[in-house]
Chain A
Amino acid sequence: MTAKTIISRPIYGTLSPQPGKHHLFIADAEGALAITDMAGKAPPGFFDGAEIVFIPDPEGKHISALEALEPAQLHLPPSFASLLPRLRQTLTNAHMGLRLYLAGTEGLIGQAMQAALEAGVDHTSIETEHRGSLARRMQCVHCKGITENVTTQPAACSHCGLLLLVRDHYSRRLAAFQGVCINAEDRSEIPPMEEAFP
């Protein structure tokens, strides 16, 4: 569970089955467990109208558990980048009555939500559940570069190398937390780097 700090810090819930004609799940890694947990609460036949898009870890954990739900479709893309064009296409052609469920890491939830917002879906209409790593997707406010999987505080920008304070300030549009130079006054001052988002 992530604590509420400032208003833009996303808050995630627990997936629950919504009324609807079609259900699109997007999950990575441990997010699969959020789906299988939810399945217990779903009405009979719920997964007949469901498509699950799951980015598995290298060992292929949880794939068989999702297969066991017998969704109408199950896709296993290797990365978020590889599923994005197809997701955009699906959302553009979709009709009202399609419900979205996002589960797994913050990076995945944020980026999938970004695509949904572009398609005109209200963020409050989307079911989300955070599972697994707390690693953050961070944007350096100085060079604008995005660094994935940030687990430390502070963290180095992978583009310009500045040492950044990873803020709770979150941009839904960029699906990223903001990173601000932590030693702008005196670069020789290097605060200790701690594991903050395991």
Chain B
Amino acid sequence: MSTGTTKLDVVVSDVVPVNDLVTRFHFRRRDGELLPTFSGGAHVVVEMRDGDRTRLNPYSLMGSPLDTREYTISIRRDDVGRGGSLFMHRQVKPGLEMVISYPVNLFSLDLRARKHLMLAGGIGITPFMAQTAQLAGAGGNFELHYTCRTASLGTYADVLRERHGNRVRLYHDDREERIDLERLLSSQPLGTHLYVCGPAGMINWVRARAASLGWPPETVHFEHFAAPQPGAPFDVELAVSGKTIRVGEQQSLLEAIEAAGVDPPYLCRGGVCGQCETNVISSDGKFIHNDHWLSEEDHRSGCKIMPCVSRFEGKSLVLER
């Protein structure tokens, strides 16, 4: 078992198709008790037992933090990913018993802020569902700008408009509606905090603009779970446990380490929390870093790797694990 990843035994209480790509899953505790409380922005790691293969994927909780009878997550189907979302969409039915982690929040609101400005892209809307519910309940000051491809793929846009009215602004790609980012970021009262969740390109764009317009780094919060990318298989020597393992094409390095019976720490499995940071003892080849945790310097040095999302290509790799 890993740091902070105490497990919860749950049962799938409902599966609700939301639109062509997105399905919502509801979980309750098998023993009928209340689930642990969480704050807006928290995620859980869902264990997917698919034959002899176990995938562990993080998903943001989207229900109101005020209601802990059930947890809800929404998953966008990814036809070219490593199969986690397809497994959820195809195999998970009401009544299925599953295991999820306790909630962990790596994207929490800074409640000292005078105002919360939220920018969502696509399925990146899910943490904001919980955060807006939390803030609305406490009379908080927020504004949500939500970009989606088309109105029919604007997951929960209608719900959000109904709950929060004008505090929610929608932008549709197919109607060429674009956020005027420069104006938006320049017109916020001092003491505003910015939250971004969506595709990597959007996060990078918003962070870069905010930095150049004088938003201090501590006022800019973002979450992007990198999904582990498939790649060529490679071999790794685990020096501490004295094992040599092979990382399969569809497997992450972290999953391969776990499959060998070694239990490294993790929290997010998406390259953001820093828990799985591992020292490289020696290497001969090229690192494929996909995390948002290590600095560019760390990436260049070849001394560290985040096994939840990053890979390696080359002759040999020895890790301190």
Contact = CB atoms under 8 A, between A and B. Distances in A.
B186 A95 contact: yes
Contacts, number: 62
B190 A119 contact: yes
Interface stretch (B162-170, B171-179, B214-222): B214-222
A99 interface: yes
A99 B214 contact: yes
Contact of A119 (B114, B188, B213): B114
Could you tell me the dominant secondary structure of chain B's interface residues? loop
Contacts of B214: 18-22, 96-99
Contacts of A99: 214, 216
A152 to B, nearest CB: 36
Nearest to B211: A19
B175 to A, nearest CB: 28
Nearest to B192: A96
Contacts of B218: 122, 124-125
Given A21-B186, A96-B186, A97-B186, A121 B191 contact: yes
Find the residue from B192, B211, B212, B214 having the highest chain A CB count within 10 A. Answer: B214
Nearest to A100: B190
B191 A20 contact: no
B212 A95 contact: no
Contacts of A19: 211-214
Contacts of B53: none
Contacts of A125: 216, 218-219
Contacts of B186: 21, 95-97
Interface in B191-241: 191-192, 211-216, 218-219
Contacts of A20: 213-214
Interface residues of B, number: 20
Contact of A122 (B188, B189, B213, B216): B216
A120 B215 contact: no
A2 B219 CA distance: 28
A119 B191 CA distance: 6
A193 interface: no
Contact of A94 (B189, B211, B216): B189
Contacts of B187: 95
B191 A124 contact: no
Given A95-B189, A96-B185, A122 B112 contact: yes
B190 A94 contact: yes
Nearest to A97: B214
Nearest to B110: A122
Contacts of A21: 186, 213-214
B113 interface: yes
Contacts of A98: 190, 214
B213 A97 contact: yes
Find the residue from B185, B186, B187, B190 having the highest chain A CB count within 10 A. Answer: B190
Contacts of B189: 94-96, 120
B180 to A, nearest CB: 15
A19 B219 CA distance: 14
B185 A97 contact: yes
Find the residue from B211, B216, B218 having the highest chain A CB count within 10 A. Answer: B216
A101 B212 CA distance: 18
Nearest to A49: B214
A77 B114 CA distance: 29
6 contacts: A18-B216, A95-B190, A96-B190, A96-B214, A96-B219, A125-B218
CB-based closest 7 A-B pairs: A120-B191, A20-B214, A125-B216, A120-B114, A97-B214, A94-B190, A96-B188
Given A99-B216, A119-B190, A120-B192, 15 more contacts: A19-B211, A19-B212, A20-B214, A22-B214, A91-B190, A95-B187, A96-B189, A96-B190, A96-B219, A98-B190, A119-B191, A120-B114, A120-B190, A121-B190, A124-B218
Interface of B: 112-115, 185-192, 211-216, 218-219
